[in-house]
Every structure is written in structure tokens, then in C-alpha cells.
């Protein structure tokens, strides 16, 4: 009987450990961070198809989104789908796309992180030479691979409550492991390109 009791006690300890670890994982996943896999080419050259990242769910409970942040958010057309894009315009900003260049509040933005110039599709939300005012509580997002990204140029600005979180770390592939740096400083000015080398669905 003593052996049976010992076995039962051992099994119960294992089960308690499994339940504890499982509960901890659920709490972390729901409230703190979640892993995401990059699917598609819309964020090249910053992220490539098959990269794995961590998304912080608490960053925007502490501060507001900043220009240059990479965010995961629910698609405005289908909330079951998550996109990954870069924040370009903040609440109150005026965005102008003209001659394949981006102007924010009348200032040309020299985007060193994109793979190609910003293109527009006739009939989409963003139009050549037409200013876009970002409403309060919303952001304007675009992929770094402009010709191959479905983003705010197509479906408009994004309410902040659709944001899942900020992408802050890449953990695969091994040669790209590291934190994800914002190319802009706290004042919205572009940092030196050398700092970008560290470099969801598209």
C-alpha cells in the first residue's frame, strides 16, 4: 500500500506542476506577450516569411503607439486575422502621399527601412496628393515592402483598440535573433540607419 500511495502522490505532484505551468502560460499568452509567425512578404526587408517574433500586449497599456513601432493588429475587415505593419501616422497627423514619397504634417519622411517606394492603387483609401487626417484614437500603418503590402493605403486608418501589441523581439531565425529597434526617436525623428540592422501575417 505504501508503494501505491507514493506512486499516487508522485502522479499528483506531476499533475499539479502541469496545471500550474499551463495556467502560467495561458496568463502570459492572454495578457503579457504572444508569439507570432511572419506570413508573407509585406514587411521585407525587416521581416521575412517564416520569421518568429514576440509581441508585447502590455506596451500600449503603459504608453501610446509611436511612429516607427511595428505592431500586430486585428484586420479591420476580419478580426480573426492578424496583420503586422509599421506605424507611420499617429492621431492628429496629416499624411500625404505624392510622387511615391510620404509627407507627415508637411515634412518629407526619408524612410530608410523600406524595400521600395510607396505606390498607390486607384480607388483605394489613400489617393495621390490627397491629404489624410488621422482621426483621434487611430493610427495609419504600412508594410515596409510597399508594393506587396495591404495596409492603411487600402483599408484606411486603424482604431487603437484593434492593436494586439508591439513587436519587440525576433527569436527565429538564429542569425536574426534580437530586439526590434524603432527607427525613430521619441520626437519622431529618424535615427541613423546603422541602428536598424538588428532589424503575423502580411
Give the residue numbers marked as catalytic.
Answer: 42, 85
CA distance 160 to 59: 13
- CB neighbour list of residue 132: distance below 8 Å, 6 or more residues apart: 89, 94, 95, 96, 125, 126, 140, 157
CA distance 191 to 169: 19
Cell match 521585407: residue? 44
Among 132, 191, 188, which Cα is nearest to 156's? 132
CA distance 177 to 161: 29
Amino acid at each position: 500500500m505504501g508503494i501505491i500511495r507514493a506512486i499516487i502522490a508522485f502522479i499528483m505532484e506531476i499533475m499539479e506542476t502541469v496545471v500550474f505551468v499551463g495556467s502560467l502560460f495561458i496568463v502570459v499568452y492572454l495578457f503579457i506577450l504572444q508569439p507570432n509567425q511572419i506570413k508573407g512578404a509585406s514587411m521585407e526587408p525587416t521581416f521575412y516569411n517564416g520569421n518568429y517574433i514576440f509581441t508585447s500586449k502590455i506596451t500600449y497599456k503603459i504608453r501610446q503607439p509611436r511612429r516607427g513601432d511595428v505592431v500586430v493588429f486585428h484586420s479591420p475587415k476580419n478580426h480573426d486575422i492578424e496583420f503586422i505593419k509599421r506605424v507611420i501616422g499617429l492621431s492628429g497627423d496629416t499624411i500625404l502621399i505624392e510622387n511615391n514619397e510620404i509627407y507627415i504634417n508637411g515634412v518629407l519622411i526619408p524612410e530608410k527601412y523600406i524595400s521600395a517606394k510607396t505606390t498607390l492603387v486607384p480607388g483605394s483609401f489613400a489617393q495621390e496628393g490627397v491629404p489624410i487626417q488621422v482621426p483621434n484614437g487611430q493610427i495609419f500603418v504600412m508594410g515596409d515592402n510597399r508594393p506587396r503590402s495591404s495596409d492603411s493605403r487600402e483599408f484606411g486608418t486603424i482604431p487603437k483598440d484593434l492593436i494586439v501589441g508591439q513587436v519587440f523581439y525576433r527569436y527565429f531565425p538564429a542569425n536574426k535573433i534580437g530586439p526590434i529597434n524603432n527607427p525613430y526617436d521619441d520626437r519622431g525623428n529618424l535615427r541613423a540607419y546603422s541602428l536598424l540592422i538588428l532589424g503575423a501575417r502580411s
